[in-house]
């Protein structure tokens, strides 16, 4: 049994420890601690019932544009995989996107089947207008560069699948 809650700054160390083995395997991108602190309000964490300071899963929803966000840094402790924690995190993040009236959520993943079960589908190209693309190019965020499929992030994204969900077609279930 586990619960979800919004992440707090005190969770950054545990989030980094969760991400580390995945970053070592090049499944997730390692980030500096300051990047986690700057984005902590985007994160949801999972913890065992009655143990709110023991983090066993995390995920973040990063808004990219007025109608678009990205699920990023989705990780579950190796010892807790297969217990529905990842499903619960994605469902919560999609619910947050829906609450913010976003219509599309992007992810870059090796876990295609997992995200397909949540309504995501693989995409080619960048599903934004030319004007929005030009604006997004101004961002220094690597996640946005991944969304735009820019050459500068290619070494970090090899083997990943770019996926998208249209929330109007697949409303999340809280």
Chain segment 114-127, per-residue pLDDT in tens? 999 999 999 987 77
Superfamily of domain 2-166: Gcn5-related N-acetyltransferase (GNAT) (3.40.630.30)
pLDDT at 147: 75
pTM: 0.88
DSSP assignment letter at 159: T
Sketch the domain layout of the chain as residue ranges: 2-166
Indicate the SS3 state at residue 43.
strand
Give residue 42's pLDDT band: very low, low, confident or very high (50, 70, 90).
very high
Cα–chain center distance at 31: 14
For residue 141 the two structure tokens come to 């965020």
1 has a pLDDT exceeding 90: yes
Q: Which residue shows structure tokens 């693989």?
A: 122
Those residues whose C-beta lies under 8 Å from the C-beta of residue 90, and which sit 6 or more positions away, are: 59, 71, 74, 115, 118
């Amino acid at each position: 049994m586990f619960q979800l809650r919004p992440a707090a700054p005190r969770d950054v160390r545990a989030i980094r420890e969760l991400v580390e083995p995945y970053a070592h395997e090049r499944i997730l991108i390692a980030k500096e601690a300051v990047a986690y602190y700057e984005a902590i309000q985007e994160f949801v964490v999972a913890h065992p019932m009655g143990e709110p300071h023991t983090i066993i899963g995390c995920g973040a929803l990063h808004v990219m544009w007025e109608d678009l966000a990205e699920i990023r840094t989705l990780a579950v402790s190796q010892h807790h995989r297969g217990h529905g924690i990842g499903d619960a995190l994605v469902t919560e993040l999609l619910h947050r996107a829906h609450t913010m009236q976003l219509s599309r959520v992007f992810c870059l993943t090796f876990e295609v089947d997992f995200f397909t079960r949540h309504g995501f589908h693989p995409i080619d190209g960048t599903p934004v207008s030319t004007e929005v693309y030009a604006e997004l190019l101004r961002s220094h965020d690597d996640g946005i560069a991944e969304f735009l499929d820019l050459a500068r992030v290619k070494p970090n994204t090899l083997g990943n699948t770019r996926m998208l969900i249209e929330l109007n077609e697949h409303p999340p279930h809280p």
